[in-house]
């Protein structure tokens, strides 16, 4: 196969990936962006398979394994895509990141075992050039950290497992940062030893320490920081792929990995700004542990609150001029987005101005609420980001909060000692009336009590979000 043609095909795939990112930056163009992404991946896979066919030394060498990987991977991916619920998307994303990291490690190991097979050296030559050793070193350590860190993130996001490391609460121990520092230095030392000697012992030790470091980096991070963790791991997986792309002299892998790495890093920065946290404070487990103790100290469940029914809430909204809806993770868990859209449509027919307020870190991953509402085909012009909607809460007759907690907690503005102090929030507390739907008075993912629930103008409506919203729809009728 002509290598110039291969380069052109890889370049075309890379252009498709760039267009995919551009399309996915806006809900209106997301479908086109997905189409570009699929086209780019199809071109990349077809080109790679064609290259294997052209370069194989014996008929059929390796093609069976390639076909098995493509068919089995495609089948598993299709099955997961059809079965996954929107509430499970964050942990699915974390799981996919882990696979990318592990793939980078496996490729690096294979390249060290047989560098000639990857075109790194001539046939029969096993001394890897210095530049490639650096690339393999970086790709391995980033891939290993991405894999183990993503596994921990998956467990924390799913909330299914009783193993302590997979709990949403931060896991910390005395001298944790010092241990991480020692391990990081040891990992770099082993990497340097591998670079100097190309010996297996330091390479294996480096990979093992990186796997362990990935676990230790993620376990002290509290649940409220998980959106940043997801985007951060996304960035890591991209850089791991780019590092391996350099080793394999694969321009498409370099470009695609760099796109994922840079976009994930930018998204992590945006998320940190939305939470008023520095990136390093999140990575080092900057908050979350204090939140758990704060919640228990408050004893919020024993404080009196005003409660009402779905009928009461429907009456208030039906007689309002404007309603701002704040969706949260509780809405996603109940899969109430379709019922919510129906409620908004009925209120709109009654002349009520309805809008949805979206916090950048609502849910368990960036854009979670946007995707949820898009699944229910909520008009895009009704979905408004935090910085654009906050000025309207003061004029809103009703703020309807469904399953959100930390992103509407006034403690971020009113309590300088709160673990979330300084975090930008949706100003739902400024609305004339606040209606909050929750299953119970349990603390949110950050483990903090919420003063909003105890205000005189707040009415709590307890129950499953889908059932409550469906009852509201009936009452509006």
Residues annotated as part of the active site: 406
**DSSP strand E in 291-362: where?**
322-327, 353-358
In the structure encoding, which two tokens stand for residue 217, read together? 């980096």
Q: Measuring CA to CA, which residue among 211, 187, 184 is closest to residue 137?
A: 187
CA-CA distance, 310 to 468, in Å (whole number)?
6
Nearest CA-CA partner of 355 in 320, 303, 309: 320
Using alpha carbons, list the distances in angstroms from residue 66 to 52, 60, 140.
Answer: 9, 10, 22
Neighbour-count burial of 319, counting CB atoms closer than 10 A to its CB (0-12 exposed, 13-18 middle, 19+ buried):
exposed
Instruction: Dump strand ranges (E) for 242-397.
Output: 322-327, 353-358, 383-385
User: Would you call 302 exposed, middle or buried from its count of C-beta atoms within 10 A (0-12, 13-18, 19+)?
Assistant: exposed
The Cα–Cα gap between 158 and 166 comes to 8
Q: If you search the block for the tokens 């939305």, which residue do you land on? A: 274
Residue 229 and residue 146 in contact, taking contact as beta carbons nearer than 8 Å: no
Q: Name the strands in the sheet holding 433-438, side by side, starting at the edge strand that comes first in the sequence.
A: 383-385, 353-358, 322-327, 398-402, 433-438, 458-462
Task: For residues 159 and 91, give the distance between their C-alpha atoms in angstroms, rounded to a whole number.
Answer: 10
**CB 464 within 8 Å of CB 439:** yes
| Sign of torsion over alpha carbons 461, 463, 466, 472 | negative
CA angle 111, 98, 66 (to 5 degrees): 50
Neighbours of 175 (CB within 10 A): 10
Q: Greatest CA separation found in the chain? A: 81
- The whole-angstrom separation of Cα 217 and Cα 219 is 6
Residue 123's SS3 state is coil
Q: At what angle do helices 337-349 and 465-476 cross, to 10 degrees?
A: 20
Residue 82 burial (CB < 10 Å; 0-12/13-18/19+)?
Answer: exposed
Residue among 402, 407, 408 nearest 464 (CA): 402
């Amino acid at each position: 196969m002509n290598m110039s043609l291969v380069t052109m095909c890889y370049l075309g795939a890379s252009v498709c990936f760039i267009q995919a990112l551009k399309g996915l930056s806006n809900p209106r163009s997301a479908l086109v962006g997905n189409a570009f992404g699929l086209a780019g991946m199809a071109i990349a896979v077809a080109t790679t398979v064609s290259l294997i066919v052209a370069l194989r030394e014996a008929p059929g060498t390796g093609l069976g394994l390639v076909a098995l990987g493509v068919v089995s991977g495609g089948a598993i991916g299709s099955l997961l895509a059809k079965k996954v619920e929107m509430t499970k998307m964050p942990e699915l994303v974390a799981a996919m990141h882990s696979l990318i990291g592990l793939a980078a490690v496996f490729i690096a190991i294979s390249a060290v075992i047989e560098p000639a097979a990857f075109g790194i050296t001539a046939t029969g030559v096993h001394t890897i050039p210095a530049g490639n050793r650096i690339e393999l070193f970086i790709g391995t350590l980033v891939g290993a950290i991405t894999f183990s860190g993503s596994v921990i993130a998956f467990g924390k996001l799913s909330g299914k497992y009783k193993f302590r490391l997979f709990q949403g609460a931060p896991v910390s121990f005395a001298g944790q940062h010092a241990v991480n520092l020692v391990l990081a230095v040891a990992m770099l030392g082993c990497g340097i030893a591998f670079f100097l000697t190309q010996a297996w012992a330091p390479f294996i030790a480096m990979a093992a320490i990186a796997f362990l470091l990935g676990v230790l980096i993620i376990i002290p991070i509290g649940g409220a920081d998980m959106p940043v963790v997801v985007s951060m791991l996304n960035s890591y997986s991209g850089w791991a792929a780019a590092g391996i792309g350099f080793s394999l002299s694969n321009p498409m892998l370099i470009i695609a990995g760099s796109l994922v790495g840079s976009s994930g890093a930018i998204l992590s920065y945006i998320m940190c700004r939305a939470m008023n946290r520095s990136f390093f404070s999140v990575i080092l487990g900057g908050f979350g542990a204090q939140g758990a103790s704060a919640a228990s100290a408050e004893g919020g469940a024993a404080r009196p609150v005003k409660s009402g029914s779905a009928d009461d809430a429907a009456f208030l909204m039906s007689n309002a001029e404007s309603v701002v809806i704040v969706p949260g993770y509780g809405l996603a868990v109940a899969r109430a987005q379709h019922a919510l859209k129906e409620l908004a449509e009925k209120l709109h027919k009654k002349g009520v101005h309805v809008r949805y307020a979206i916090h950048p870190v609502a849910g368990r991953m960036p854009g979670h609420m946007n995707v949820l509402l898009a699944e229910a085909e909520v008009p895009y012009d009704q979905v408004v980001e935090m910085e654009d909607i906050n000025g309207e809460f003061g004029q809103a007759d009703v703020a309807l909060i469904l399953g959100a907690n930390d992103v509407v907690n006034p403690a971020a503005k009113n309590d300088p000692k709160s673990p979330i102090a300084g975090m930008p929030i949706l100003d739902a507390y400024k609305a004339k009336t606040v209606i909050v739907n929750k299953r119970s008075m349990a603390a949110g993912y950050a483990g903090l009590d919420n003063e909003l629930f105890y205000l005189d103008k707040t009415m709590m409506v307890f129950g499953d979000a889908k059932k409550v919203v469906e009852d509201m729809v009936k009452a509006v009728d």
